[in-house]
Structure 1
Amino acid sequence: MTLISRMARIAPVSVALMIAATSVSAQKKYDIGATDAEIKIGNIMPYSGAASAGGAIGRAEAAYFAMINGAGGIGGRKIDFITYDDAYSPPKVVEQARKLVEGDEVLFMFSPFGTPSNSAIQKYLNAKKVPQLFVFSGASRFAAPEKFPWTMMGWLPTYRLEASIHAKYLLKEKPQAKIGVLYQNDDGGKDYLKGLKEALGDKASSMIVAEESFDVAEPTIDTHIAKLKASGADTLIDLASPKFAAQAIKRVAAFDWRPLHIVASFSRSLGGVVKPAGLDNAQGIISATIAKDPEDRRWDNDPGMNAYNEFLTKAFPEGDRRDSNSLIGYGLAQMIIQVLKQCGDDLTRENVMKQATNLKDFRSEVLLPGIKMNTSPTNYTPVSQMQMTRLNGAGWEPVGDVISGDVR
């Protein structure tokens, strides 16, 4: 047999193998919750209860996904966004998570709200190997890939990182501050307090003069505010969920107490916190953020904010433009859309997790200039920078430069 004839015989086999290999590499891969037609995403929000202001995040996400579906979906697949109310109750969230995973058969969980709720379902979701993506909490337990590889954070920094940013601000601007700390009695609140003490270093014992923790079942936090005022604190760090943050702002004003009042980033919403507390009562409060403020006139002609305003007008008219939770929901939805685009036709839970942990310089245009989000298989905290802001009039104004925090 000549060389030519041997090659003629081999060539068709090689071509066939190449075609087969191409077919395999292009083959679509699905887990439960994904098909050629749809992608099922699970979500749990406090649409009622003590943290109901956070429900605006879920409503904005639902509106964004509906807009995406109206434009053809992702790779021709429509998003089926299944969102349930847990009333900010850990027993209820466990019931809803099981319903989503075992009943609705979602591909993954996206942006479930709150430290207590996410803590209650974290072990269950990791045991089931269901991605628990971009949780709305700053507790460091949600950024621990060595222990919980299927859980990662989203648009909140870790509480310890935010604490380090607050500490850096105080050490520069008010180094003799007498600090009173109000925090929720859960993993998140304890994380923050630990991070604050670490960041203040040797000055922690002299600067922190009082600590008050509260439980979400308490009807008010009036007695805690009274104790903090009585401590002689001239600086109040307020790590409370929106309902209690609004109460704190009102009570501080009622007591005619005038501390430097620092509010947690997740409770800086104009619509969800400042308005209920009273705009006059809230003047001068300080808070850190990663996102543009819709009420800030600096962004009147900003393309990113113009796109957001168009979204509110056309897709989410019931959304409050002043509510930062609506903007957060919009940004989180853009973030998960980027993950799904990176997944392509490999819509397995393993690949969803792989792509979520491989975001490179992700930017929603509602983020402040210069802020980018990056993740990796060993970095489950997308946020590492924040900007301090002060409430002035009806909006927030920047204070100083963007600050990088200590990622832990």
Structure 2
Amino acid sequence: MNKDTFATPSRRDMLRLGGLTALGGVAAAAGIGGLAAPALAQKGQYDTGADDREVRIGQTLPFSGPASYIGVSGRVQLAYFERLNKKGGVNGRQVRLIALDDAYSPPKTVEATRRLIESEHVLGTFGSIGTACQAAVQRYMNSRKIPQLMIGTGAARFNNPREFPWTTPGSALYSTEARVLARHLLATKPDARIAILHQVDELGRDYLTAFREELGDRAKTMIVAEASYEVADPTADSQVLKLASTNASVFLNLTVGKFVSQSLRKVQETGWRPDQYLLSGSATISLLKPAGKGGEGALALRSVRSISSPRWKNDPAVIDYFSLLDAHLPNLDRTDNLGFAGYSMANVLHQMLERCGDNLTRDNLLKVATNLTDMTAPINLPGVNFSTTPEDYAPLRNYELSRYENDDWTGIKVLS
């Protein structure tokens, strides 16, 4: 058992890294009034980062920089545990979530992660964001055998239990989504002529590699055109025009960010009317609404519900999320799915810590994280559950095929 005493991080150091922390209103390492608490026999099994009183979990998020909009997820997670700690925490322990700002910059991620491990002495990290950012600390975390759990990215590199057993992805993998869609097209449109637009990055590579592999020999005849764009490009209009000239029957639109709205509008302008499939991560109402009529009829394999949809207004998790906002973050945009995603991630960590019981060792935390076949998250659509096993860390294997109509998504069927 580790009997480390955990000092509360200084305000100066937390501000230097843009850190935020959530802990309920109880004395943690010291007794009431600053008197040293008497030594007591510990009731559980612990590694650095946990004891009878609290468990420390760290994460890095972009509270500043080009992806600062993601920071809302972290603020909601902190509010979730602040509320939970006031109710007694998890299994009688306070949960101290320490979130540090990395500005979506790998060098800053390295600095912040080392701070979490070497100074804040966290049990592990959970829900940190960014493919490049988390890749920059993956070897560091694994060499120290510290859990790097539920990373917010769909890159396949994080599903590698043989080489990096302490790292698990938390988002639907691009490669899994690609294979599910390829199987669907082979079964329902075996004669489809497919045109593909993708960004030049790891997402595009992961998706296309898996999509082609799943199509097998049919890829040579089914894929009739392919175009790519760089994230720094002003638009992808010329690429859309090139693909439209093929009159393909299926348009695999793997764009992200502003290119989603732009490409949807351009397709509408050309008169090209293929079955258009979007990435699950791009199937957000905030990206489709600006496309106007161009978004109507778009298809996507989706794993999460949209908080702004009337379909979920009476869902218990949505009601509880809004209650959390009322009490802790009343000015937060209620239609922002990133906030609900943060609530959902906090709930998953809550469930995982409950399953750990009094065994808060790093080995046991990893064991729980890699055996989630019977767990779901509040944001997941019905029928979409976690599927991690010790041999395969892919978090999701099934999706809801949905169609975008009248500013909302309508479910068609669940695919796997």
Residue 316 of structure 2 aligns with an amino acid whose one-letter code is P
Q: CA 1:65/1:230 → structure 2, altered by over 3 Å: closer, same or farther?
A: farther
Query: Following TM superposition, by how much is the alpha carbon of 1:402 offset from its aligned partner in structure 2, in angstroms?
Result: 0.6
- Is 1:274 equivalent to 2:288 in the alignment? yes
Query: Following TM superposition, by how much is the alpha carbon of 1:52 offset from its aligned partner in structure 2, in angstroms?
Result: 4.5
Query: Following TM superposition, by how much is the alpha carbon of 1:394 offset from its aligned partner in structure 2, in angstroms?
Result: 1.8
- Is 1:334 equivalent to 2:347 in the alignment? yes
- Which consecutive residues of structure 2, in runs of 5 or more, have no partner in the other structure? 1-39
Higher relative contact order (CA 8 A, sep 6+): 1
Q: Give the corresponding residue for 2:367.
A: 354
Q: Contact conserved, 1:108 with 1:130, CA < 8 A, in 2?
A: yes
Query: Is the helix fraction higher in 1 or 2?
Result: 1
Matches within 5 A, 1:29-108: 29-108=45-124
Q: Contact conserved, 1:291 with 1:368, CA < 8 A, in 2?
A: yes
Residue 408 of structure 2 aligns with an amino acid whose one-letter code is G
Q: Give the corresponding residue for 1:322.
A: 335
Q: Give the corresponding residue for 2:37.
A: none
Matches within 5 A, 1:181-200: 181-200=196-215
- Which consecutive residues of structure 1, in runs of 5 or more, have no partner in the other structure? 1-22
Separation in 2, partners of 1:223, 1:143 = 35
Which shows bigger deviation, 242-251 or 124-133? 242-251
Query: Following TM superposition, by how much is the alpha carbon of 1:377 offset from its aligned partner in structure 2, in angstroms?
Result: 1.8
* Deviation digits for residues 190-230 of structure 1 (CA, Å, limit 9, x no counterpart): 12101111222232112222333444455544454444445
Q: Give the corresponding residue for 2:5.
A: none
Matches within 5 A, 1:8-407: 27-154=43-170, 156-218=171-233, 220-230=235-245, 232-253=247-268, 257-271=272-286, 273-275=287-289, 277-399=290-412, 401-404=413-416
Q: CA 1:57/1:213 → structure 2, altered by over 3 Å: closer, same or farther?
A: farther
Which shows bigger deviation, 54-63 or 200-209? 54-63
Residue 187 of structure 1 aligns with an amino acid whose one-letter code is E
Q: Contact conserved, 1:242 with 1:266, CA < 8 A, in 2?
A: no
Q: Give the corresponding residue for 1:3.
A: none
Q: CA 1:341/1:96 → structure 2, altered by over 3 Å: closer, same or farther?
A: same
Give the 3-state SS of the residue equivalent to 2:333 in structure 1. Answer: coil
Q: Contact conserved, 2:268 with 2:293, CA < 8 A, in 1?
A: no
Separation in 1, partners of 2:246, 2:67 = 28
Separation in 2, partners of 1:269, 1:98 = 34
Which shows bigger deviation, 183-192 or 119-128? 183-192
Query: Following TM superposition, by how much is the alpha carbon of 1:294 offset from its aligned partner in structure 2, in angstroms?
Result: 3.0
Give the 3-state SS of the residue equivalent to 1:368 in structure 2. Answer: coil
Q: Give the corresponding residue for 1:13.
A: none
Q: Contact conserved, 1:137 with 1:188, CA < 8 A, in 2?
A: no
* Deviation digits for residues 92-126 of structure 1 (CA, Å, limit 9, x no counterpart): 33333223323333221111223222222212211
Separation in 2, partners of 1:48, 1:248 = 28
Which shows bigger deviation, 91-100 or 140-149? 91-100
Q: CA 1:237/1:85 → structure 2, altered by over 3 Å: closer, same or farther?
A: farther
Separation in 1, partners of 2:395, 2:293 = 34
Q: Contact conserved, 1:50 with 1:243, CA < 8 A, in 2?
A: no
Give the superposed CA RMSD. 2.9
Residue 288 of structure 2 aligns with an amino acid whose one-letter code is V
Residue 400 of structure 2 aligns with an amino acid whose one-letter code is Q
Q: CA 1:310/1:287 → structure 2, altered by over 3 Å: closer, same or farther?
A: farther
* Deviation digits for residues 60-84 of structure 1 (CA, Å, limit 9, x no counterpart): 3223222222322223333332223
* Deviation digits for residues 290-320 of structure 1 (CA, Å, limit 9, x no counterpart): 2333344343433343333433444443443
Greater C-alpha Rg: 1
Separation in 2, partners of 1:48, 1:217 = 20
Q: CA 1:44/1:185 → structure 2, altered by over 3 Å: closer, same or farther?
A: farther
Separation in 2, partners of 1:216, 1:65 = 36
Q: Contact conserved, 1:51 with 1:243, CA < 8 A, in 2?
A: no
Separation in 2, partners of 1:246, 1:118 = 28
Q: CA 1:335/1:368 → structure 2, altered by over 3 Å: closer, same or farther?
A: same
Give the 3-state SS of the residue equivalent to 1:237 in structure 2. Answer: strand
Residue 93 of structure 1 aligns with an amino acid whose one-letter code is T
Residue 415 of structure 2 aligns with an amino acid whose one-letter code is I
Residue 265 of structure 1 aligns with an amino acid whose one-letter code is S
The normalised TM-score by structure 1 is 0.81
Sequence identity of aligned pairs in percent?
A: 40
Give the 3-state SS of the residue equivalent to 1:191 in structure 2. Answer: helix
Separation in 1, partners of 2:191, 2:337 = 32
Separation in 1, partners of 2:51, 2:351 = 18
